[in-house]
Amino acid sequence: MNEVSTTNTLDWSAVAAWIALAVAIISPIITSIINSIHHSKMKRLEILEQRGLTIIEDYISITSREIVTLGISDNYKKCYAQIFLYAPSSLHKTLEKLNSLICDCGNNSFPNEDECRILLIQICKSLQYTKL
């Protein structure tokens, strides 16, 4: 009688082919997921940067008007509070000094226009080189 021996041998070339197939299917999916996450983060940073630029522009524009007008507008109060989010901490004292010149003059008099302009120019120059 002929006895056939059965042994468990793996066909390594078939295993390698299946692994290659799995990698070929999975790697584009993983790459797509990673790219999507990266794109989302970049878009978020872009939106934050654009928002920061808008706040800085609004602050400069509104503050320029406040220097030559009586009283303090709600727009100024809002942009003054927001500018601290995007201005470097080294600029905070100058911002506070300009704010006190604008606010402390009261509703019946104009702020010291020359001093306010000098501070606003310093702020603009500092913000020009600020990386958001």
* Stretch 26-40: mean pLDDT: 96
Residues 45-84 pLDDT 10s: 999 999 999 999 999 999 999 888 887 889 999 999 999 9
pLDDT value of residue 104: 79
Residues 78-102 pLDDT 10s: 999 999 999 999 999 999 999 998 8
Q: What pTM does this model have?
A: 0.70
CA neighbours closer than 13 Å in the CB half-sphere of residue 17: 5
pLDDT value of residue 124: 92
Q: Which amino acid is at 12?
A: W
pLDDT value of residue 130: 75
Burial (0-12, 13-18, 19+ Cβ within 10 Å), 127 = buried
pLDDT value of residue 9: 75
Residue pointed to by tokens 């606003």: 120
Q: 57 or 104, which is more confident?
A: 57
The ranges assigned to domains in the chain are 42-128
Sign of CA dihedral 87, 129, 119, 73: negative
Neighbours of 30 (CB within 10 A): 10
Sign of CA dihedral 55, 53, 104, 71: negative
